Every structure is written in structure tokens, then in C-alpha cells.
Amino acid sequence: MAVYTHLGAEDMAALLAPYHLGDLVSAKGIAEGVSNSNWLIETARPAGETARFILTMYEFRIEIADLPYFLGLLDHLAAKGCPVPRSIHDDAGNLYRVVDTARGERALALIEFLPGVSLGDPTPGQARAVGAALATLHGAAADYPATRANGMGLAEWQRLAQECGADGLASIAPALAEMVAEHLPRLAAQWPTGLQTGVIHADLFPDNVLMQGETVTGLIDFYFACNDILAYDLAVTHAAWCFDASGEAFRPDLSAALLQGYASVRTLSTAEQAALPLLAQGAAMRFAMSRAYDWLNTPADALVTRKDPLAFARRLLFYADPANSGVFAA
């Protein structure tokens, strides 16, 4: 569950007052998500119609100084027609507010509620739509004026691996320690330079995409967004979408559809196309390392479920295997 801060009805009404959204009808904690407290807010306007919003209270991991980048990006993309939630500004025009809570000072922001559901078992048609939505996002963000470095790039994978230590990684599984020892130095030595960069989502997993049928109705959770290699974002999305739920079996049908969807909107350069296998190994390393670190550092009685690092260690080995080099062929 992810509502870390309890808010009573009066607290909630007071928090929402500067937004002039109408009368508070309901505020329901949302169980999904691990980093923030989220509520679905329903309000009634004077004319009687209801409106829905998501209220997020930032609990861990997110630097307040980064909120203008994340929330400004939502407004930039929404203004260009991308299916992302607009941020709701308070009556003074602020994108976010800092409030006192029983757990100390917290930043909070309101965004538009978007319809749709996130998928457990996507179809090729849905993967194609996600690929196209990602490429559209890359194009729409091209003139976003702010920049943010990728805090989850290669240097961070190396730091996380060091924090876990070879023994820590081996305590999860010996194969994980072996995989990191073999592949992390190689990725560092071979990581591509000179590919086109821009704003990337960097975490476009199925739980961060809302869909109705084969239509993408929401791209959400932009809290890893940053400026980095555009094709790396496609590689992240590929690693997140193109394996079955067990993380074992590659799904060529989803892979082909996702890549086709992306290419239908943005043509990859020859260099990007050639780099995809390596970028996908990097993407798999990124999630293997963040999950391994969380695995070793999340107390057993924590509210959140730890995610399996091995699912991404296996994906890295899949992408590194020359027998699979045709996966990204044009």
C-alpha cells in the first residue's frame, strides 16, 4: 500500500482550499505505487458536476528541487496533446506546495485524473500503441526548455552495485553477483556516446501506462524523467514490456509491435538501431541494480513489496546473448 501519511477530512479540505476545486466529496487512498502517498480526490463544482484529481504527497526519493522539471514537463506535454495529466496550479500559480504534516514537511501536488487501466498482460496492439506514444512524447518534449541529469544512469548502477557488494548480490543469488561482475565493467567500457539525447520518461513500465483497449489514455509517473539518450528510453520500455510476467520468456510479438509502433512516429538512426542491444542491457542492469539495492535495504516489515532483481538479470543475459542479436533488427 502507498499512503504513508494519514490525513483526516479537515486536513484534506484545508490542503485543497488553495486550489478552488469545489466541495470535497471524497478522498480515497490509492494502494498502488511505492514512493509517494496518492489519493483520488473527487470534488463537486457549484454547477453540480464532479471532477477527479490525483493528490500526491512526495514521501521518499524525490527532490523538491526537481518538481518544477517533472510537473512543468506534464504541462508542456499535455499542451501538445500527449496523454499525460496536467498539473493543477494553486490560486497563486504554484505547481506544488510544501505543507506541515504529522510526519514533518512534505511537498504535494495535484494532477488531473486520467481514465484507463494499467495492463498485466498486454497485447501486441497495445504494445504498438505504447511504442508510438513514447516516440510522440520524445518529439513533443524536444523543445522543453528545462534539463535534468539522469540520476539513475551508469554511475548510479555502479554506485548501487558497490553499495550492495559482491556478497550482498550473491546473498540474493550467486548468479546475480556473477552477472554484475561480468557485465557492468563491459557496459561501462562500451556505453555509447553521440546518440541523440532529449527528454526521456526512463521508467515506462506497464504500471505507468493507462490504456482503454488499444488507446493509451495516460502516461504517468514521470519522477525519473530526465535528459538522456532517446533510444535508451525505447530500450527501457522494451525491457519492461516484452517479456512475460515471470520475466523468463521473451515475447517476440510484443517486441516487434513495440518497435514498429515507435518507428511509425520517429525513425531511429542507423547508430541508434545498432546500439539498441547494448542500451537494452544497460536498461536491464539499471533495474536489476535498483531492485537489488531495495531488496537488501527494505526491512522485512516494510509496507511495500520488494521487486525481483533476477527478472532483470535474466533479461540482461537475454539481450547480451549473440543468438538474440536479431531482436532489434530493422
Ligand X SMILES: Nc1ncnc2c1ncn2[C@@H]1O[C@H](COP(=O)(O)OP(=O)(O)OP(=O)(O)O)[C@@H](O)[C@H]1O
CA–CA separation, 302 and 312 (whole Å) = 22
Closest to ligand X by CB, 218 or 261: 218
Least distance from ligand X to the Cβ atom of residue 112, Å: 6
Taking CB within 5 to 8 Å according to partner kind, which of ligand X, ligand HSE, none is near residue 290?
A: ligand HSE
CA–CA separation, 299 and 285 (whole Å) = 23
Taking CB within 5 to 8 Å according to partner kind, which of ligand X, ligand HSE, none is near residue 178?
A: none
Least distance from ligand X to the Cβ atom of residue 289, Å: 16
Where does this chain bind ligand X (CB under 6 A)? 2, 30, 32-36, 38, 54, 85, 111-114, 118, 207-208, 218, 220-221, 223
| Element (DSSP H or E) covering residue 88 | strand 87-88
Say which residues have a Cβ less than 8 Å from residue 14's Cβ, sequence separation at least 6. none
User: How many residues would you count in the chain?
Assistant: 330
Taking CB within 5 to 8 Å according to partner kind, which of ligand X, ligand HSE, none is near residue 291?
A: ligand HSE
Helix and strand counts by DSSP (H, E) for the chain: 9, 10
Neighbouring CB atoms inside 10 A of 194's CB total: 8
Closest to ligand HSE by CB, 191 or 205: 205
Best CA proximity match to 231, nearest among 282, 196, 260, 203: 196
Least distance from ligand X to the Cβ atom of residue 36, Å: 4
Closest to ligand HSE by CB, 89 or 307: 307
Cα 170–chain centre separation: 27
Least distance from ligand HSE to the Cβ atom of residue 237, Å: 11
Neighbouring CB atoms inside 10 A of 271's CB total: 12
Closest to ligand HSE by CB, 42 or 203: 203
Closest to ligand HSE by CB, 32 or 143: 32
CA–CA separation, 259 and 233 (whole Å) = 12
Backbone angles phi, psi at 243, to 5 degrees: -130, 155
Least distance from ligand X to the Cβ atom of residue 280, Å: 21
Closest to ligand X by CB, 184 or 219: 219
CA–CA separation, 255 and 239 (whole Å) = 9
Taking CB within 5 to 8 Å according to partner kind, which of ligand HSE, ligand X, none is near residue 30?
A: ligand X
Taking CB within 5 to 8 Å according to partner kind, which of ligand HSE, ligand X, none is near residue 85?
A: ligand X
Taking CB within 5 to 8 Å according to partner kind, which of ligand X, ligand HSE, none is near residue 307?
A: ligand HSE
